[in-house]
Amino acid sequence: MAPEKQPFSLYIHIPYCVSKCPYCDFNVHVVSKIPEREYGAALLRELEVYARSDHWRGRGLKSVFFGGGTPSTFSPQSIGRILEQARSLFPFTEDVEVTLEANPEKEDQKHFSAYRSCGVNRLSLGVQSFQPRLLKFLGRLHSADESREALRVIRQVGFRNFSLDLIYGSPGQSLADLQADLAEALSFQPPHLSAYNLTIEEGTPFHHQLNAGRIRPLPEDEEIAMAELIEETLSRSGLERYEISNYARPGWQSRHNSNYWQGGDYLGIGAGAHSYVSCEGNSVFGLRWHDERNPARYMEMVKREGTAVAESESVGLAKAAAEFMFVGLRMMNGVSTDDFSGRFGKRPEEFYPQIGAWVEEGLMEARGGAVRLTRRGVLVSNSIFVNFV
Ligand code: SF4
């Protein structure tokens, strides 16, 4: 099937949070009153306009992801309206995955059942840690007990598919802390678990504290020991690592995120959301754009113009190939040689001769119809990825 006919993924950005965590560098806004109705109306309008455009008209939808921010700040009625609109404009595939990111707070838990009734079939729960002192350090508003309760409610209301998110590598975290987090997470038998290494991004409060010497990152060897502990513990429990930070029981991988990592098309709506559509038949391999980041300006633009594109670019051969490698290498299966040469006319090793050197160093392997990182390569993946940026 030509790429422009294949089912795509839809990302919906809800940019509001009750407070901002000190490590967060997402497009997040803390406001005294969340303009749920106006923002929801802008999302509906944007969807309607894109459904008429050449890139998206008539295409099937294979996944919908409400991300943020905190999408669970929006009521099930608003989420339901957006899903209804999406379903009326694009045929949903039979196995469509509809994910909503939720925080474990009591207020959010109250809505879990209604989210399920309105069509959400997967929750991604930001637990981060079960250790009260680490939750406090991360600036999270929920308690470990709220996470435990939220995980029970998720099951109780009938979500078979959910993801539990943890953060590791916080200053002051020990291997024993991490072990306790993993054991407790596993006791809830999640079909999917994400374990993110805490990164301190420029411009965040943590970055200022780091510069002022008030926090000290963990030594690299401790972070590596943590990454190894995570992989060993989770794989022993049947959660297979399928992406650098993501683990799942067979068949429960995130379809939405896998679409990004496999270079599929996605439409992003909402403040700051990114979109990518591949093109065939000329020197332009893809188009990418992102929406205005500021929610108030985003809503104004949608009211005026129907969409809110802040910046767009055509992606040429070199960039499209590099991005395909960059995201594909995040997956443990790696980049399929056939997929790569089908899109770009050459095998990955021909396009990037340095792959040979990485294979010799034991950081990559090129066999079985794919190029992938080895276990050692995963540990130094950032130093490989910079070559594709
Ligand atoms: S809850 Fe998530 S999106 Fe909101 S500030 Fe914290 S890390 Fe950022």
For residue 81, count CB atoms less than 10 angstroms from its CB and return exposed for 0-12, middle for 13-18, buried for 19 or more. Answer: middle
**Torsion angle defined by CA atoms of residues 187, 189, 190 and 192, in that order, rounded to the nearest 10 degrees:** 110
26 in contact with ligand 1, CB cutoff 6 A:
yes
Q: What is the pLDDT of residues 71-83, one digit of tens each?
A: 999 999 999 999 9
15 in contact with ligand 1, CB cutoff 6 A:
no
Q: Which two tokens stand for residue 257?
A: 């995120």
**pLDDT for residue 59:** 96
- Choice from 24, 107, 194 to test ligand 1 binding pocket (greatest atom count within 8 A of CB): 24
pTM: 0.96
Low-confidence ranges of the chain (pLDDT < 50): none
**pLDDT for residue 333:** 96
- Taking the CA of residue 69 as reference, the ligand 1 atom at the shortest distance is 3
Residue nearest to atom 8 of ligand 1 (CA): 24
**pLDDT for residue 182:** 98
- Taking the CA of residue 68 as reference, the ligand 1 atom at the shortest distance is 3
Q: Under DSSP, is residue 9 helix (H, G, I), strand (E, B) or coil? A: strand
- Number of continuous H segments (helices) and E segments (strands) in the chain: 17, 15
Q: What structural domains and CATH numbers belong to the chain?
A: 3-259 (3.20.20.70), 335-389 (no CATH)
50: how many CB neighbours lie within 10 A of its CB? 19
297 in contact with ligand 1, CB cutoff 6 A:
no
CA distance 89 to 142: 37
**pLDDT for residue 13:** 98
**pLDDT for residue 280:** 77
